[in-house]
Structure formats: structure tokens, C-alpha cells
Structure 1
Amino acid sequence: MTVAERPAWVDETLFPFESRFIDIDGNRIHYVDEGAGPVLLFLHGNPTWSFDYRNIIDELRRDFRCIAVDYPGFGLSSAGPGYRYRPAEHTRVVGAFVEALALRAVTLVAHDWGGPIGLATVQQHPEVFDRLVLTNTWAWPVGEPAVQIMSHVMGGPIGRLLIRQFNLFVNPMIPIGHRLNKPTSAEMAHYQMALDTPARREASAVFPREITASRAFLADVESGLPALAALPALIIWGDGDFAFGDKELRRWERALADHRTVIVDGAGHFVPSDAPEQFAAAIRDWHAAGGIVAYDAELAARVREFFADGPPVLEKAMFGGLAFLVAGRIAVAASSRGGLLVRVGAARAEQLVRTTAAEPMAMGERVMRGWVHVDGDHLRAGPALAEWIDIGIASAANA
């Protein structure tokens, strides 16, 4: 199936959205763009497509702009000649997509392979994204022997043949991955028809191999996670998943300082379609609560004045306050606690806490290594504020 327009098998009742298409780097990319408001960008995993988010989009489009994109070779998107369906390629396509649509202030919503692909996109386009929603995913090289064996078997000649000839990732895995709401035959048909020939299933067949073959890509995403740690994050976790469990959940909670976790009891791997009502409600509640940003506006204005004659800066709502990013990394932030959060680097933090008015920076009960908090009373003098901003700029440049 080479898709140039929406095919007749797409049910208007099950997928009640306008299908849009855009050409990116020789690929014909399908996406939906529904509603108005804060932007949510939905990225799918294997072997699904934007159809997996249909009920969430239908619920949230009254209050949000909901954009869901299909990677080349998935859903209603077509790959151009020479496309190899690797996660690094998908990342480049998603990056070009957000730039083509001139998206800003985006919340990434990512499941399964959408996690590493989406987070790599965030790392490469930090000016675009300001929040994260992650569900049953990962973003690091996998070392467990069982997973490596699965990758080599399912990503090898026999596994790829089974996927290509028998649609192995759709026919058994989709039902197994739904524990609360088993897909109907009509819903299953939308996953099956999207990968209706052996050639179309190549995209799905590549992903198992890439769990190990894309180790360098995953290592790069992992190394960039500290730069994203301060982004407000919502973790929606199905605790009945066959692929990701408590170990991965705890790792996300350690990695993301400003996070809220919502456990969906009994939900399987495909949480967005297995528990869409809970998923949509979690996003709505979290986004509403995060809309309250409190910080010292006068201090923020003084920081902004400093940067008027300094390096280019990007402002983002983070830490419940206002962060100032230089070259894509936070240098300082006007804190919701009052005062200033300053990036100082792990090597200097302890010394600065001992010898200055700075205190360790904490998010909840967790101390953030490489950061300090400076009370506003110690920043009244212009030179003191400038010194701390200079430290933050230098530390961001070396991060």
C-alpha cells in the first residue's frame, strides 16, 4: 500500500478526523491536527499509528491542539526510496515535521518507540518543547539478556520473515497488549490494513533489531536526559505491561525531577488505547495544575535585562518558575520558591554552598546535583545577580 490520500478502509466513525499529508525529505507523512489550545504532539510505537491515540484526541481536542503523526512506513504514511525505518531517521523526520508546522510550546506525548524518537527530537529542538508525557517507554540502551535475545531473534532473518509474512507484531501483540479494553474486529482491521502487505510490514520488522542495533542512538538519547530533567513531566504507566515494568518506571522517576506519576491499574502495553479515558483525564488534570506559574517577576525582569546585552536566551516555564536557556540549556531560573536557581556544575556545587549564600537545590525530597538556590535577598545588588548569572551561563556552556 502506497498511501497518497486517505484510503477507504479508514472508518469515519472510528477515526473522525481530517487526514492531512505533508512531504518531508521524500516521505509522504500523514498526520492529524485537531482542536486549538496548548499543543500536544503524539508519537506512536510499534506497530501502531495515530489511530492508537484516536479516543484521547477526540476527548482533548476541545481544549488542546492535538497533533498525531505517523512515521514513514506506518499508518497512512509512505516512505521514500532508500528509507531504512531506523529510529534516527524517524527522529529526523519528526524534527523536520515540527519545524515545517512551526510548532512551539509543545508537550510531547510518547509511547514505546515514541519515547526515544520523541526525546531525541526534544534534545535536537529544545526551543520547540516545554513539557513531556511519557507512557510505557524507555530511552537508553537495553542490557538485559532476554531483551537482547529477543532483539536478535525477532530482528533476525526468521523473525523478520514472520513479521513480514504473518503480521506477527499486529495479530498477536495488539490483543495481548490490551488488558482493559480488547480491540474489536473493526479496530484490529485498522492496525492490520495499515500494514497490509509484506512490503508495508518492513517498517514494523526493523524495530526489534534496532533495540540492539541502534545502541549508539539510544546511548545519545540517554546522555541527553539530564538536560531534560527540569521539564515538567507526566508519567502515565500501565502496570500490566508485558514489555515495561516497575524498573523502567522508577528509572523515569529518578531521571525527571519535576514529574507526576499516574498508575493505570491493569492497563497493558498499549496504554493510550487500553485506557483512553484515564489517559486523557491525567493529561487534562496535570496540564491544568501546571498552568499556575509563580515566581519573582521583578527578579525575572532583572535577569531578562541582563541578557539584553548578553548571549541569545530562550525563556521557558520550568521548575514551576521561569527558566532562561542559553544554547538550549538552562543557565538560571526564577524559582517558584522565590530567588534564583543557578546551574553551577556538580564539581562546584558543594564549594559554593559552603562559601556563599547558596543552598542546595531540591525538587521535592531530591537534591539536584549541579544546581544551587540563591535567596532573593542576596540578589538585591546588581553585581551579585550578575555574578550568579555568569556562573550559570558558563556552567550551561560546559554541561
Structure 2
Amino acid sequence: MKVFDRNLVALDVKVHFVDEGAGSPVLFLHGFPDCGDMWSGIISRLRGRFRCVAPDLPGHGQSLAGDDFDLSLENRSRFIDALLEDLGIQAPINLIVHDHGGPYGLAWAVRHPEKVKRIVITNTIFFSDYRWHFWAKIWRTPVLGELSLALLNWPLFHREMRRGSRQLTTEQIRGVYARIDRKLKRMCLRLYRATDPRVFIAWEGPLRDLVAHIPTMVLWGDHDPFIPKSFAERFGAQQVYHFPEAGHWLPVESAEEVAERLLKFLE
């Protein structure tokens, strides 16, 4: 895969990203604890027809961000602004989000509806009545969050990832575990503590209006212990597809099936 690094000076972020293919741009935004590599199984199937861009979000993978990086929804969307400007992407984009990539990408889309061609949502949060899962509650708690990450080990991580997605292979889980470093642990605590679902109140209405006017598809892994499958219908998307046997990491577990849906939807 073709990977690059750029300095987004205005945000004091060094971003690492995949940029492959040519054609209508597709922006892939991952969640925690992943990086842009999580989309590799899909990008390999789309790069022949689209320009596929998959950044490591700030503090994830090989992207660097200082502890003062503002994690408000407004500033997360500015990160997308800065990345697209740096890459010279001016045409409306196809936006694909997962997990914490949702707050980044959907906030950006609400701010720039004219820059969005299509939206694809997979297992993400953007609702004010969302209730944090067990681990998120721990990470949001001072001291307890730090202690839990200090004690994190392979058996525990493997168990929880497999609980979130039964079809993930041990090799896939090891790949994610290998990237967990001090930087990512710091970002984990900052990210979960900065994301209060109540902030979505002001964004829910504008997002519904956006989805009503822009082609939107939801792909949802139902075996997700972190986000209820009932959320899939709440975005108001024109197309909603459930994957009963897949879990939270649907784009990794079911890359071939997801890519097939994307090819039909994006063309």
C-alpha cells in the first residue's frame, strides 16, 4: 500500500495516511484502537476505481498529535479540512466512517454538506442518548482509566476484541495489539473523556437533514457489544444493511462483502 506522512502545521499534527488509486475520492475514517490499515481489505478492492485515502487519526497508528490537540467536534472536523486541503482534494468526497471516525467525519459533513457526495456509516456513535460501554466508563474515570491501560495485556485484549467481533482472526487482533503504545493509551483516555454524548444534541438535527438530501448507506455488524444495533436505523439512511454474524469491526471481518456493497453504492 502507498503510505505518506504530512505535517498539518495549523493543527500541529503529523498525519500518516494511505493514498491509493485514482477517480472519485473516498475518505475512510477508522476508530479506536485502530489505524488506517483497518481498511486495507476494502481499499485493495476499491483502488482500481476510486482514489482511496485512509489516514491514521491524530494519536493513532503513526500519526502524532500533542496532548493539547483539541478534541472538540469542531476541531476534529478541522482536521479533515486540513487533510483534504493538504492533499488538494476539492471534489465532493465519498465519506466512510467507523466507530470514533464517526464524530470526526460526520461533524465535518454537517459543516460542509456541499463537499459530500455520499456517506457510508458502519458501527459508529452520533447520538446524545448513547450510553458508554463498560470499558469506556473505566477509561473516562481518572486513575482507574490509567490503571486499566497500564495493566492491559494480550490475553485480556484478545478476549475483548473477540467479544466485539467473533470472526476476527488471532492474526488480525495481534496486528492491532502490536500498535498499542504509550501514545495511543494517552489518546484513548483523552478521546473518551472529551467525548460526552450530550455534545451530539446540537448535531443530530443537522445530520438528519444532511442524510435526507445526500445518498447515505449504513452497514452494521449486529454482534456489537459496544453500540446497539438499533442505532443503524436512526441515521435515516436510504439504505441499511445488517450483518447478523459480524460484530463491531465489520469492515475487517467482512471486508469482501462490505467492498461489494460499497462498489454498488458508490458508482
User: TM-score band (shorter)?
Assistant: 0.7 to 0.9
Task: Say which SS state the counterpart of residue 103 (structure 2) adopts.
Answer: helix
TM-score (normalised: structure 2):
0.88
Sequence identity percentage: 28
TM-score (normalised: structure 1):
0.60
1:271 equivalent in structure 2: 250
Tell me the distance in 1 between the aligned counterparts of 2:59 and 2:157: 14
Tell me the distance in 1 between the aligned counterparts of 2:191 and 2:243: 26
**Structure 1 residue 179 corresponds to structure 2 residue 162:** no
Distance 1:171 1:206, change over 3 A: farther
Instruction: Check whether the contact 1:151–1:210 (CA below 8 A) recurs between aligned residues.
Output: no
Instruction: Check whether the contact 1:31–1:69 (CA below 8 A) recurs between aligned residues.
Output: yes
Deviation at 1:219, TM superposition (A): 2.0
1:27 to 4, 8, 13: 13
**Structure 1 residue 82 corresponds to structure 2 residue 82:** no
174-183 vs 29-38, which moves further: 174-183
Note the aligned Cα RMSD (angstroms). Answer: 2.3
Deviation at 1:119, TM superposition (A): 0.8
Superposition pairs of residues 171-320 of structure 1, within 5 angstroms: 171-184=158-171, 187-197=172-182, 199-212=183-196, 215-216=198-199, 218-228=200-210, 229-252=212-235, 255-256=236-237, 259-288=238-267
Deviations 1:196-242 (A, max 9, x none): 23x43111223333342x632x2232131133121101111111111
Distance 1:222 1:202, change over 3 A: same
Instruction: Check whether the contact 1:136–1:238 (CA below 8 A) recurs between aligned residues.
Output: yes
1:157 to 132, 142, 149: 142
The one-letter code sitting in structure 2 at the alignment partner of 1:226 is: R
Task: Say which SS state the counterpart of residue 157 (structure 1) adopts.
Answer: coil
Deviation at 1:88, TM superposition (A): 4.3
Which is higher, the Rg of structure 1 or of structure 2?
1
Superposition pairs of residues 12-51 of structure 1, within 5 angstroms: 17-24=1-8, 25-51=11-37
Deviation at 1:162, TM superposition (A): 3.6
Deviation at 1:176, TM superposition (A): 2.4
The one-letter code sitting in structure 2 at the alignment partner of 1:182 is: T
Instruction: Check whether the contact 1:91–1:120 (CA below 8 A) recurs between aligned residues.
Output: yes
Instruction: Check whether the contact 2:28–2:54 (CA below 8 A) recurs between aligned residues.
Output: yes
Tell me the distance in 1 between the aligned counterparts of 2:259 and 2:38: 13
**Structure 1 residue 131 corresponds to structure 2 residue 118:** yes
In the comparison of the two structures, how many residue pairs are matched? 261
Deviation at 1:249, TM superposition (A): 1.4
1:109 to 93, 96, 107: 96
228-237 vs 91-100, which moves further: 91-100
Distance 1:116 1:267, change over 3 A: same
Task: Say which SS state the counterpart of residue 267 (structure 1) adopts.
Answer: strand
Instruction: Check whether the contact 2:158–2:170 (CA below 8 A) recurs between aligned residues.
Output: no
2:107 equivalent in structure 1: 120
Unaligned runs of 5+ in 2: none
Superposition pairs of residues 53-64 of structure 1, within 5 angstroms: 53-64=39-50
Unaligned runs of 5+ in 1: 1-16, 289-399
Higher relative contact order (CA 8 A, sep 6+): 2
Distance 1:34 1:227, change over 3 A: same
Tell me the distance in 1 between the aligned counterparts of 2:51 and 2:226: 30
Tell me the distance in 1 between the aligned counterparts of 2:121 and 2:130: 21
The one-letter code sitting in structure 1 at the alignment partner of 2:177 is: Q
Task: Say which SS state the counterpart of residue 246 (structure 1) adopts.
Answer: coil
Instruction: Check whether the contact 2:139–2:188 (CA below 8 A) recurs between aligned residues.
Output: no
Deviation at 1:159, TM superposition (A): 3.9
Q: Between Structure 1 and Structure 2, which shows a larger proportion of helix residues?
A: 2
